[in-house]
Structure 1
Amino acid sequence: MAVGSAVLVALLCAPAPKPLSALSRRAVVGLAPSLGAAALLGTGLPAAPAARAAVAPPADLIPTLGIGAWAWGDTLFWGYDAKRDGELQELFDYCLASGFKFFDTAEVYGLGRSETLLGQFCRANPAAADVRIATKFAALPWRTKASDVLDAAQRSTERLGRPIDLYQIHFPNAWANEAYWDGLGQCVDRGLVRAAGVSNYGSSALRACSASLASRGVRLVSNQIQLSLLYPYAQTNGLLSTCNELGVKVLAYSPIALGLLAGKYTKEKLPSGPRQLIAGKYLDDPQFGELIRTMGAVGAGHGGASPAQVAIAWCIAKGTCPIPGARTLAQAKSNLAAASIRLTAAEVSELDTAAAAVTPVLAPGSSPFAKKDVVTGQIMFDS
């Protein structure tokens, strides 16, 4: 999480945490060691679900483009306001009517609020029977057992009011990773979830997890990682190649780099909240402006597509399924329109060249995710 990780580091260095209700996913993850499990995810762990037959994931589980629901409930980064839930329902209904039915969420997005909203929206729309929802298990330091994954999945299904189509380990921990893979496999074996995935895993960890699941007859379906023109490390360090080799689909989060690649920010108009610092650094780099102009020129050749749409189309051209977030109907319409853009190899190369000239504000080393499992020595995160 290049852009987000710097903000998280800043949060970790803050003199005092904000109230829990105001914390975003990344703040919760960063502050997790100082929080009690009950304060974060509730008490009264349910019993593991009864065994059921595993169901093979559908071949078309992951589409060309999905919708990220991090902002649906997050107050710190995205200013969530429950008074606008009606607009989120309208956004959800529009996505379904347009044929886009893959949504990504997590238990820590709004501390469960995002999952709850998705469940409500599904129940309110008769066309939601074939909606597919991906959610995530937060690998917090005190969660060290396979049963923790099962318990968390059960709570997520309760908030969603439906089974989980794709369940992902949200990020690596500094220990207990093998226990998580066991729990993930058990979730599939018991029929609690339809498919297994991970998020923020590097090449080595991906291979180890894939092998662990395969030993019990479960396929690793996906790896959700940050990928954008401003954070292209997965394509240069071999991670994308590893995913392709293993048949693991990449879900590309933050394809618009938290709005930076929309080309709308200026020194006079910066994003609110923790993103200001990152945006200001990019705006100081003339090569960033050149990248935005290049994106605009490429978009002009595709019916006047916006820089944000070109950024999403670039991720699609790299063979990934981008999952841009949307808080308004206008954003959803713009994002979904990007699915029809097919960049040429020459255009992708032009964008790659322009992006490579931008001075990186952040690199993988600044991420707060565990780089290594301290017990096994397994390298967990590389980009």
Structure 2
Amino acid sequence: MPAGALRDPPDTTQVSGLLRMTRDAVAPHMHGAIHHSLVNLSSEIHACFLISVYSVYELPSLAFRTRRLHFGRSMQRASPPALNHRRRFDLPPTMPSTTRLADGTELPLPGFGAMGMSFAYGEKNDEQSKKTLRKAIELGCTVWDTADMYGRGHNEQIIGEVLREGENRKKVFLIDKFGNRWDDEKKSFYVDGSPEWTIEALDQSIKHLGGLYPDAYLLHRVDKRTPIEQTVRALDALRKEGKTKYIGLSECSAETLRRAAKEATIDFVEVEYSPWELVMERNGVLDACKELGIKVLAYSPLGRGFLTGRYKSAEDFKKDGDFERLTRYWNSRQNWPRLTEENFQKNYKIVEEFERLAAKKGCKPSQLALAWLMAQGDHIIPIPGTKSEKYLVENFAARDIELSQAEIDEVRKVIDDNAPVGDRYPAGAMAALDQ
């Protein structure tokens, strides 16, 4: 059909045909409900026709949106189709609440970062941590991120205990990481991505997990002494052996990622990505991930708690036991560049702006930050961490927040106008990054 041919309202036959096409884009057991909802949305279909013939490609997205309107937010939903033309027509953006891997595996958004239960953020409380993990399963927050360095196996152990309860292992997509190896003599970590350690580290992690295999296995930091090709070949061998299904990297440069992708399929890249840290948008890593079809695990999506609005002054961090322990890990609070006395007030402006926008939206600043990240595309998987059931529920509810394109743009302007002052890590940790 030539472009521009459909300028008049479609007749009944055309609408019926479109309803059938749209109905067929969703699961058969939902046809009746979808038909009912589509009839109520016939004016929207009409609007699509008036724009151009390309509106036909909008129908799968329309079906997805209609399903969400009819069934509400409580159900787990399919991700939007790959053909995404909705913004061309100024229709409200469909906020992703799931993402689909290349093999069809569907993952709910956002995920969960377990580090704080064992490492850096305050004292351990295993019983509380396990309650929070069980609550995550109950909610459907089932993409979990851990690493062997978090408590030197402790994090894996408490996760393993919960996953071995009942059918829990079948419900959780577990991401594990290796590469930060402990030196008993120096009492510190060093990076080891050698093929030998890649294999040995996974065996140790499986032991910590109580015999369970992680779904995905990532190199935590790039070993500058070991060519990335060697590490990736070892990871791919573990995948072929069946000890993990997916592989990836963390905190790598775009160049390293492209080299790795030439050796084997890379499924995930984990990076720090938040409204307070956009370096991955500027250094080519996110572009490389999009080009190569790699999912992005966004750690510290709330700026290590800064964007929650919980801390009103630099003094508040001194009173916070969790953060006090984190800063002791990096030797002193003054070594955390963005949170020094001088930089705190400069950086706090973005928190005030997020509080303003969140109040207007009727949500928490943390939820707005997570919703905005997910609005960047369903290839972004935020993994906010917490030990608290309360904050877990709050974070996961960010998937229920719809942002219009105007709201997405408004948040982007706030971010651009309030770039952070200071590096995201202390000097020693910055030096260890693959930049």
TM-score, normalising length: structure 2: 0.66
Q: Aligned to 1:220, what secondary structure does the other structure show?
A: coil
Q: Aligned to 2:422, what secondary structure does the other structure show?
A: coil
Q: Deviations over 1:174-195 (max 9, x none)?
A: 1213221111011101111111
After superposition, where does 1:91-130 map in structure 2 within 5 Å? 91-130=132-171
Indicate the residue corresponding to 1:229 in structure 2: 275
1:209 aligns with 2:260: yes
Matches of 1:64 and 1:249, distance apart in 2: 12
Indicate the residue corresponding to 2:216 in structure 1: 166
Matches of 2:340 and 2:431, distance apart in 1: 26
2:232 and 2:263 in contact (8 A); partners too: yes
Q: Which runs of 5+ in 2 are unaligned?
A: 1-100, 182-189, 328-332
1:64 aligns with 2:64: no
Q: Which runs of 5+ in 1 are unaligned?
A: 1-55, 214-218, 372-379
Matches of 2:219 and 2:166, distance apart in 1: 29
Aligned residue identity for 1:316: M
Matches of 1:167 and 1:363, distance apart in 2: 25
Identity of aligned residues (%): 24
Task: Determine which of 354, 379, 383 is the counterpart of 1:323.
Answer: 383
1:131 aligns with 2:182: no
Q: Aligned to 1:155, what secondary structure does the other structure show?
A: helix
Indicate the residue corresponding to 1:314 in structure 2: 372
Q: Aligned to 1:71, what secondary structure does the other structure show?
A: helix
Compute the RMSD of aligned alpha carbons.
Answer: 2.5
After superposition, where does 1:32-71 map in structure 2 within 5 Å? 58-60=103-105, 62-71=107-116
| Alpha-carbon offset, residue 202 of structure 1 | 1.3
Matches of 1:294 and 1:142, distance apart in 2: 38
1:282 and 1:288 in contact (8 A); partners too: no
TM-score, normalising length: structure 1: 0.74
2:108 and 2:140 in contact (8 A); partners too: no
1:134 and 1:168 in contact (8 A); partners too: yes
| Structure 1 residues 311 and 68: CA distance shift in structure 2, 3 A | same
| Structure 1 residues 269 and 125: CA distance shift in structure 2, 3 A | farther
Matches of 1:220 and 1:196, distance apart in 2: 6
Matches of 1:86 and 1:198, distance apart in 2: 31
| Alpha-carbon offset, residue 286 of structure 1 | 5.2
Matches of 1:333 and 1:78, distance apart in 2: 19
Aligned residue identity for 2:244: V
Matches of 2:163 and 2:308, distance apart in 1: 29
Matches of 2:425 and 2:304, distance apart in 1: 17
1:296 and 1:305 in contact (8 A); partners too: no
Q: Deviations over 1:21-46 (max 9, x none)?
A: xxxxxxxxxxxxxxxxxxxxxxxxxx
Aligned residue identity for 1:175: R
Matches of 1:184 and 1:335, distance apart in 2: 32
2:179 and 2:193 in contact (8 A); partners too: no
1:293 aligns with 2:352: yes
2:198 and 2:231 in contact (8 A); partners too: yes
Indicate the residue corresponding to 1:180 in structure 2: 231
Q: Deviations over 1:259-301 (max 9, x none)?
A: 1111111234224324444464488565534322321232234
1:172 and 1:200 in contact (8 A); partners too: yes
Paired residues, what number? 309
| Alpha-carbon offset, residue 245 of structure 1 | 0.5
Indicate the residue corresponding to 1:28 in structure 2: none
Matches of 1:119 and 1:363, distance apart in 2: 31
Aligned residue identity for 2:423: L
Q: Aligned to 2:275, what secondary structure does the other structure show?
A: coil
Task: Determine which of 114, 118, 122 is the counterpart of 1:79.
Answer: 122
